[in-house]
C-alpha cells in the first residue's frame, strides 16, 4: 500500500540507473538488492514482466495482465525445470504471481465501478479496495524499477482521497494506507497526522498487523515495525490462514510492502527461511 524522503533513503536508489527509451515512457531500472524477490530476474521472464510494468504505468491493465501472465507461466516452468537454481526461481514465481493477482482484482473492480451501479456498502467497499490494490501495484512498480513513479503515486493518492469519503470494512486499512502513501512521498508530518486519527483500539488485532508494520516501515520506524512483527508472529494466523498461502507469514513473504525489511536478519529468520523451506 504506498513515496520521497523515506523512499530516497532506500539503498537501491544509490545504484546507477539505466534509462531505456520507449515510445511513451522512459523505463528506468536500477541494480536490484539481493534481498528483493526480483533479484536475478532475467531473460524472457524479465522482458515480459518489464513489458507488463510498462503497461501498468500507462494504466493499460488488460495488456499488463497478458504480459505478466506470460511471465508467471515461464517463471513456473523455470521453478520446476531450471536452468536457474537456488531460491531465486521460487522468489520470482511468488512475486510475479502476487502481482498478477493484484492486477486481476484491480481490473475486476474497475470494470464493476464503470457500471456505476449504486449498491451502497458494496460500492463503498469496492472504491476503498481499489485504492489499496493501486497502492500494492505502485509498490510492485517501485520494487521492479527501483524508482518512484510520480504519476502513479498521484493516482494512488487520488484513489485514497475518494476512498476516505466512503465507509466500509476497509476503513482502517484505507486510513493506514493513506498515511503510508504520504510517507512514501516524503510528507512525514502529514503521514503521522493521518496515522494519529486511528485509536489504539483500532490498531489492534491480527487483521491490521500487516498494514501497521508497513506504515512503520514507510515512516522509517524499523524498530516499531519489528516489535509489531514479533507480536504478529505469536498469533495463530501467523502460520495458518483461511486459505492456503494466506497466513500472515506467507503474505509478508510475497508482498512488496515489506521489501525494506527483507535484508534484516530478523525478517530472514522469521519469514524468508521458513517460507522458502515450505515452497514446492
pLDDT digit string (tens) for the chain, length 280 residues: 533 322 223 322 223 333 333 334 444 445 678 889 999 999 999 999 999 999 999 999 999 999 999 999 999 999 999 888 889 999 999 999 999 999 999 999 999 998 875 666 689 999 999 999 999 999 999 999 999 999 999 999 999 999 999 999 999 999 999 999 999 999 999 999 999 999 999 999 889 999 999 999 999 999 999 999 999 999 999 998 767 778 999 999 999 999 999 999 999 999 999 999 865 5
Residue 118: its pLDDT value, please? 60
Residue 232: its pLDDT value, please? 96
- Ranges of beta strands (E only) in the chain are 17-21, 26-30
CA-CA distance, 117 to 93, in Å (whole number)? Answer: 36
Residue 277: its pLDDT value, please? 87
pTM comes to: 0.85
Residue 241: its pLDDT value, please? 78
CA-CA distance, 139 to 184, in Å (whole number)? Answer: 10
Residue 25: its pLDDT value, please? 42
Rg, C-alpha atoms of the chain: 18
DSSP 8-59: HTSGGGGSPEEEEE-SS-EEEEEPPPTTSTTTT--HHHHHHHHHHHHHHHTT
User: What is the DSSP secondary structure assignment for residue 186, as one 8-state letter?
Assistant: T
- The answer to whether the beta carbons of residues 245 and 274 sit under 8 Å apart is no
Amino acid at each position: 500500500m504506498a513515496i520521497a524522503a523515506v523512499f530516497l533513503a532506500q539503498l537501491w536508489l544509490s545504484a546507477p540507473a539505466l534509462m531505456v527509451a520507449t515510445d511513451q515512457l522512459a523505463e528506468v531500472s536500477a541494480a536490484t538488492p539481493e534481498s528483493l524477490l526480483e533479484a536475478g530476474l532475467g531473460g524472457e521472464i524479465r522482458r515480459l514482466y518489464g513489458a507488463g510494468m510498462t503497461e501498468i504505468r500507462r494504466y493499460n491493465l488488460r495488456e499488463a495482465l497478458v504480459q505478466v501472465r506470460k511471465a508467471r507461466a515461464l517463471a513456473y516452468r523455470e521453478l520446476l525445470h531450471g536452468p536457474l537454481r537456488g531460491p531465486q526461481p521460487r522468489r520470482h514465481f511468488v512475486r510475479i504471481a502476487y502481482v498478477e493477482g493484484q492486477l486481476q482484482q484491480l481490473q475486476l473492480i474497475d470494470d464493476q465501478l464503470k457500471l456505476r451501479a449504486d449498491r451502497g456498502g458494496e460500492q463503498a467497499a469496492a472504491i476503498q479496495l481499489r485504492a489499496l490494490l493501486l497502492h500494492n501495484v505502485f509498490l510492485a512498480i517501485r520494487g521492479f524499477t527501483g524508482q518512484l513513479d510520480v504519476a502513479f503515486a498521484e493516482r494512488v493518492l487520488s484513489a485514497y482521497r475518494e476512498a476516505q469519503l466512503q465507509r466500509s470494512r476497509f476503513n482502517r486499512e484505507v486510513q493506514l494506507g493513506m498515511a503510508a502513501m504520504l510517507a512514501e512521498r516524503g510528507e512525514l508530518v502529514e503521514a503521522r497526522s493521518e496515522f494519529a486519527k486511528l485509536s489504539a483500539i483500532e490498531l489492534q488485532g491480527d487483521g491490521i498487523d500487516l498494514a501497521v508494520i508497513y506504515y512503520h516501515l514507510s515512516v522509517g520506524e524499523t524498530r516499531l515495525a519489528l516489535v509489531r512483527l514479533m507480536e504478529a508472529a505469536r498469533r495463530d494466523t501467523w502460520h495458518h490462514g483461511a486459505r492456503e498461502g494466506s497466513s500472515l507469514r506467507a503474505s509478508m513473504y510475497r508482498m512488496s510492502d515489506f521489501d525494506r525489511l527483507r535484508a534484516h536478519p530478523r525478517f530472514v529468520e522469521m519469514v524468508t527461511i521458513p517460507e522458502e523451506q515450505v515452497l514446492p
